[in-house]
């Protein structure tokens, strides 16, 4: 049987924790940004759109380094956070979650934005005439109708966060028990001679988790769509 | 309840200048497609913003550019029934109906759920998903949903335009009943003269973004000049009439009006003896004879006096003939006019083929 060693289960657990936190923290912001991009017209919209999509096209190492400059203990924001709260985000699993969140954000926003754009704005208008304010319309009409897109966006982001490597290793390095997620463990292990079996086992684990996530995404989004439209 | 409307807005090269008022009755905004009717009701609902003007219902100001009042749509208490129903696809029929009710603005005199469901005959649909509804059912649910939000006024934007004629006939009685039952001013947008004839008390004739005329249905639709200017179909005469007799052997009906009686094909639907409705006779279906014609198939022949002759474009003229207290319009060629030397004061016979009269629907 396939039994996980301590380091393997630690890597799996850490990867899941980092990815869950990354998605959980960025989802509300992702929904909000997607809604703004789908429904609002304002100057600078193209710039906002570009900033959000930058991590998708930039080398992950660059993103990781930028995060270090921004959030590291000596970083612009990081030093302030350290002085005020006495914590540092760099070189911790929280830092890994931040890196994963930034890298997966564009995928999440894209999926949710598409699903909001697919909602007939006339339905939201009708809700207004029935007495619902803007926020009420968002929660009672827009959000439920975008449900399947939000689920898809979250799962895509989760899968992307699980696989995050470049930005993570640059920003938080590979600290055993703290930041050595699956891909980082694999990277460490292939550097070590004579650990081929261990590497293969990690590859297999990654494959199982990735397939599982995509399968779950499909099943959940189908179920949500069915609940919404009854088809 | 009185609604005062005075709206101005420029949309591209198109300008809307609408001024009218209406009360507790069905007011039709009538005009051809693209005349600006929908823009006007959208401004009433607050869905588009006018450049300036005023919208007041009794003592509540919804919009006033001079005092910078512009209530958002959710605070206007204006019910809106859209052409495409716009039911929420993620909710059952009951949840859709509930949506407005849970957000109702103000209290007092607001329609009860059971009463609305009952009047619209939708109680058997409550559990259904909205996509399982027919077009007519969707519109009835949409009307119910708007009513339950306790509006002070109901806007209906071509609610029947996407339905076939059978479904139309199914909804029209509900619209009239709603107005009676819940005593709301209803603004009914339409480009169909039939709907206006069957439903409206007052017509606001809309053309090129402006209001061409306002008045009772009979007055407005009986003016060929207006009909021509607004391009809203053939000129004709609207005649209030009452069903006095039906002839089952030939499937005919006799309607009395102030100038005599019309024989027409029996109306579709359930019209009872004694019921009033509006007949509409197109001017081009009315011919004129100087002597009483003998041995002709035309069944409706009325003696009258020429009241006026109105020159139209080209070879046609409109002649109005006084028959009893009713003015019937006839459109003939200028050539006929001259050959028969027709002029005001002349005694003539107006002839209308029975089959030329559209099967009248009941006036509710």
pLDDT of residue B24: 83
Rounded-to-integer distance, Cα A181 and Cα A187, Å: 10
3-state secondary structure of B264: strand
Q: pLDDT tens digit string along B334-343?
A: 999 999 999 9
The tokens describing A151, both together, are: 């689920």
Which pair of structure tokens corresponds to residue B200? 């409206």
Residue A48 pLDDT > 80 = yes
Q: Please state the φ and ψ torsions of residue A79, each to the nearest 5 degrees.
A: -65, -35
Residue where the block lists tokens 């029929």: B93
* Burial tier of B242 (Cβ tally within 10 Å: 0-12, 13-18, 19+): middle
Which tokens in the block code for residue B342? 């027709």
Residue with tokens 């995050």: A164
Interface test mutation site (partner B, options A126, A132, A141, A223, max chain B beta carbons within 10 A): A126
Average pLDDT, chain B: 87
Alpha carbon B114 to its chain centroid, in Å, reads 28
Cα B96 from Cα B155, distance rounded (Å) = 18
Q: What is the pLDDT of residue B361?
A: 57
Spatial contact of A224 and A148, defined as CB atoms under 8 Å apart: yes
- Give per-residue pLDDT as tens, B263-314: 988 876 667 888 888 888 888 899 999 999 889 999 899 999 999 998 877 8
Confidence band, pLDDT 50/70/90 cuts, at residue B179: confident
Q: In this structure, are residues B306 and B321 in contact, taking their beta carbons and an 8 Å threshold? A: yes
Q: Residue B183 — very low, low, confident or very high, per pLDDT cuts 50/70/90?
A: confident
Q: How far is residue B150's CA from residue B76's CA, in Å, rounded to a whole number?
A: 11
- Mutation for A interface: B43, B62, B90, most A CBs within 10 A: B90
- DSSP code at position B268: S
DSSP A147-211: HHHHHHHHHHHHHHHHT--HHHHHHH---TTTT--HHHHHHHHHHSTT-HHHHHHHHHHHHHHHH
Q: State whether B104 and A131 contact (CB < 8 Å).
A: yes
Count of CA atoms in the C-beta half-sphere (13 A) of A15: 26
Name which residue leads in pLDDT, A221 or B14.
B14
Asked if the Cβ–Cβ distance from B100 to A131 is below 8 Å, we say yes
% chain A with pLDDT above 90 = 42
pLDDT digits (tens, 9 = 90+) for A91-105: 888 899 999 999 999
Beta strand B26-30 with B186-190: parallel, antiparallel or unpaired? parallel
pLDDT of residue A195: 82
Q: Can you state the percent helix, strand and coil of chain B, rounding each to 5?
A: 25, 35, 35
For residue B290, what are its two tokens?
A: 């100087």
Weakest-pLDDT range from A56-65, A66-75, B325-334? A66-75
- Cβ contacts (< 8 Å) between B46 and chain A: which residues? 128-129
Which residues of chain B from 71 to 110 reach within 8 Å of chain A, CB to CB? 72-76, 78-80, 82, 84, 86, 88-90, 99-100, 103-105
Confidence of residue A1 (pLDDT cuts 50, 70, 90): very low
B191-236 pLDDT, tens digit per residue, is: 888 888 888 889 999 988 888 889 888 888 888 777 776 666 778 8
pLDDT at B364 over 60: no
Q: Which ipTM score applies to this complex?
A: 0.80
| Predicted confidence (pLDDT) per residue in A183-211, tens digit | 988 888 888 888 888 889 889 988 888 88
SS3 (DSSP) at A40: coil
Name the pTM for this structure.
Answer: 0.81
The rounded distance, in Å, linking the Cα atoms of A209 and A214 is 9
């Amino acid at each position: 049987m396939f039994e996980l060693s301590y380091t393997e289960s630690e890597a799996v657990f850490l990867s899941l924790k980092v990815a869950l936190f990354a998605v959980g923290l960025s989802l509300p912001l992702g929904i909000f940004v997607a809604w703004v991009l789908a429904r609002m017209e304002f100057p600078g919209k193209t710039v906002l759109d570009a900033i959000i999509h930058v991590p998708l096209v930039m080398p992950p190492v660059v993103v990781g380094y930028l995060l270090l400059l921004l959030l590291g203990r000596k970083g612009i924001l990081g030093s302030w956070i350290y002085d005020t709260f006495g914590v540092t985000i760099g070189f911790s699993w929280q830092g890994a979650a931040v890196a994963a969140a930034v890298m997966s954000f564009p995928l999440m926003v894209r999926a949710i934005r598409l699903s909001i754009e697919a909602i007939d704005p006339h339905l939201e208008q009708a809700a207004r005439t029935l007495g619902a304010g803007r926020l009420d319309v968002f929660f009672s009409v827009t959000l439920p109708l975008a449900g399947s897109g939000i689920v898809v966006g979250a799962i895509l982001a989760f899968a992307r966060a699980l696989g995050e490597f470049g930005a993570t290793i640059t920003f938080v390095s590979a600290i055993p028990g703290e930041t050595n997620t699956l891909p980082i463990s694999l990277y460490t292990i292939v550097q070590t001679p004579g650990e081929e079996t261990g590497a293969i086992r990690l590859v297999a684990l990654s494959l199982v988790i990735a397939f599982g996530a995509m399968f779950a995404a499909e099943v959940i989004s189908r179920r949500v769509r069915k609940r919404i439209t009854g088809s | 309840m009185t609604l005062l409307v005075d709206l101005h807005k420029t949309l591209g090269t198109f300008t809307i200048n609408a001024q009218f008022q209406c009360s507790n009755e069905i007011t039709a905004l009538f005009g051809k497609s693209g005349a600006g009717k929908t823009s006007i009701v959208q401004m009433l609902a607050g869905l588009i913003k006018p450049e300036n003007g005023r919208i007041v219902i009794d003592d509540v100001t919804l919009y006033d550019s001079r005092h910078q009042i512009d209530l958002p749509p959710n605070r206007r208490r204006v019910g809106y029934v859209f052409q495409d129903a716009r039911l929420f696809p993620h909710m059952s029929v009951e949840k859709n109906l509930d949506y407005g009710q849970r957000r109702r603005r103000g209290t007092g005199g607001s329609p009860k759920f059971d009463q609305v469901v009952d009047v619209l005959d939708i109680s058997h649909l409550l559990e259904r998903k909205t996509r399982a509804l027919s077009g007519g059912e969707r519109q009835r649910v949409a009307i119910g949903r708007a009513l339950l939000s306790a509006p002070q006024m109901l806007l209906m934007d071509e609610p029947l335009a996407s339905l076939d004629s059978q479904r139309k006939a199914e909804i029209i009685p509900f619209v009239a009943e709603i107005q009676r039952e819940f005593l709301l001013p209803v603004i009914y947008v339409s480009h169909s003269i039939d709907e206006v004839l069957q439903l409206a008390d007052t017509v606001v004739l809309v053309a090129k973004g402006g209001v061409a005329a306002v008045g009772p249905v009979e007055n407005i639709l009986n003016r060929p000049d207006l009909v021509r200017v607004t391009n809203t179909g053939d000129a004709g005469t609207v005649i209030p009439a009452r069903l006095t007799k039906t002839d089952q052997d030939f499937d005919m009906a006799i309607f009395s009006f102030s100038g005599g009686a019309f024989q027409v094909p029996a109306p579709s639907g359930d019209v009872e003896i004694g019921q009033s409705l509006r007949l509409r006779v197109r001017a081009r279906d009315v011919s004129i004879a100087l002597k009483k014609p003998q041995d002709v198939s035309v069944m409706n022949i009325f003696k009258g006096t020429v009241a006026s002759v109105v020159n139209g474009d080209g070879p046609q003229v409109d002649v109005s003939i006084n028959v009893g207290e009713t003015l019937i319009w006839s459109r003939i060629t200028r050539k006929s006019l001259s050959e028969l030397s027709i002029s005001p004061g002349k005694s003539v016979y107006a002839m209308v083929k029975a089959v030329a009269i559209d099967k009248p629907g009941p006036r509710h």
